[in-house]
């Protein structure tokens, strides 16, 4: 699953990360190595776990062979497989009772089975969920990214054992124009209603941040979001929870992530 990079600290949440995530690859310049390198430097108090890349078998549970071959031909396969492996590692740690945050790139929630966009290539969340399904049948996915996680919804559309909630996502109703912090947090809490789950996965995008594209949430709001998800997971599924980095492009990203983890742990 992973190599333990612990420095002897006892914080609950494990940080799944590899310096290989900092490698350059052809993508939009906003999706650069600083998105993971700078937050990693801020999280030194936590225990780090280094992931292995997802296997072809892991990826093929979600993506068609044609899509996989297109990612390979673009030169992005190694980076995308490592991100997916980080997601798997976080999910498996969570199953063992150890909440985890996967500090990974590229993101994945805009990747469906046979296509992808939005700087995504493989759907990290879906690959992680399908990997652990023998041990976690019913899964709640809370996607807090600014943008609707269309790839994840597409993959699990016919699966009644997976519930996906996208609070305040950009959609055709323009509901986000009428949203505020309190309504956003209420949607996060309501995600747990009416659904019994075995584990909670968070597609943790931070472009809802006040200074990022979304212009809504303050840094301290992410702590409240993390806490709400932790409390919901403790009530519903013995605290089994993990989170994966999706979007977030402002230089304050590390502070947003750290705030979220403070509530999530």
SS (H, E, C) 78-142: HHHHHHHHHHHHHHHHHHCCCCEEECCCCCCCCECCCCECCCCCCCHHHHHHHHHCCCCCCEEEE
User: What tokens were used for 250?
Assistant: 């402002």
Instruction: Give the predicted TM-score (pTM) of the model.
Output: 0.92
For residue 243, the SS3 value is: strand
Residue found under tokens 């609070």:
167
DSSP line for 167-231: TT-B-TT-GGGG--HHHHHHHHHHTTTT---SEEEEEE--TTBTTSSS--B-HHHHHHHHHHHHH
Taking Cα atoms as reference points, which of 133, 125, 143, 35 lies closest to residue 88? 125
Quickly state the pLDDT bin for 240 (edges 50, 70, 90): very high
pLDDT at 6: 41
Q: Dump pLDDT digits (tens) for 51-90.
A: 999 999 999 999 999 999 999 999 999 999 999 999 999 9
pLDDT at residue 213 tops 70 = yes
**Mean pLDDT estimate for the chain:** 93
Give yes or no for residue 37 having a pLDDT over 80: yes
**Is the Cβ–Cβ distance between 247 and 183 less than 8 Å?**
no
Above 60 in pLDDT, residue 47? yes
Band of residue 4 on the pLDDT scale cut at 50, 70, 90: very low
Q: What is the pLDDT of residue 8?
A: 38
Looking at residue 171, what is its pLDDT? 52
Residue pair 86/49 in contact (Cβ under 8 Å)? The answer is: no
Q: First vs last Cα of the chain: how many Å apart? A: 21
- Relative to beta strand 2-4, strand 47-51 is antiparallel
Tokens of 217: 């949430």
Residue 168: band (very low, low, confident or very high) from pLDDT cuts 50, 70, 90: confident
Q: 3-class DSSP state for residue 255? A: helix
- Which whole number is the average pLDDT over 91-116? 97
Taken in order of first residue, the domains within the chain and their CATH numbers are: 2-264 (3.40.800.20)
**Which region holds residue 146: left if phi is over 0, alpha if psi is between -120 and 50, else beta?**
alpha
């Amino acid at each position: 699953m992973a190599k333990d990079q612990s420095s002897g600290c006892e914080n609950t949440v494990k940080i799944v990360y590899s310096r290989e995530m900092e490698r350059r690859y052809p993508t939009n310049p906003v999706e650069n190595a600083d998105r993971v390198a700078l937050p990693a430097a801020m999280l030194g108090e936590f225990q780090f776990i280094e992931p292995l890349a997802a296997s072809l078998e892991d990826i093929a549970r979600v993506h068609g062979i044609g899509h996989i071959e297109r990612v390979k031909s673009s030169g992005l396969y190694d980076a995308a497989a490592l991100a997916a492996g980080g997601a798997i590692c976080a999910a498996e740690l969570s199953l063992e009772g150890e909440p985890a945050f996967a500090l990974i790139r590229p993101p994945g929630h805009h990747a469906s089975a046979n296509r992808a966009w939005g700087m995504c290539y493989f759907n990290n969340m879906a690959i992680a969920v399908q990997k652990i399904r023998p041990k976690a049948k019913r899964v709640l996915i809370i996607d807090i990214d600014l943008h609707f996680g269309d790839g994840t919804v597409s993959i699990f559309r016919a699966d009644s054992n997976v519930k996906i909630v996208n609070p305040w996502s950009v959609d055709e109703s323009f509901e986000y124009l009428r949203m505020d912090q309190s309504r956003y947090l209420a949607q996060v809490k309501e995600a747990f209603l009416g659904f019994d789950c075995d584990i909670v996965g968070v597609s943790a995008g931070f472009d809802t941040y006040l200074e990022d594209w979304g212009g809504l949430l303050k840094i301290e709001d992410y702590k409240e979001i993390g806490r709400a998800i932790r409390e919901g997971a403790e009530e519903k599924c013995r605290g089994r929870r993990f989170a994966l980095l999706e979007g977030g492009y402002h230089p304050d990203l590390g502070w947003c992530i750290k705030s979220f983890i403070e509530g999530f742990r």
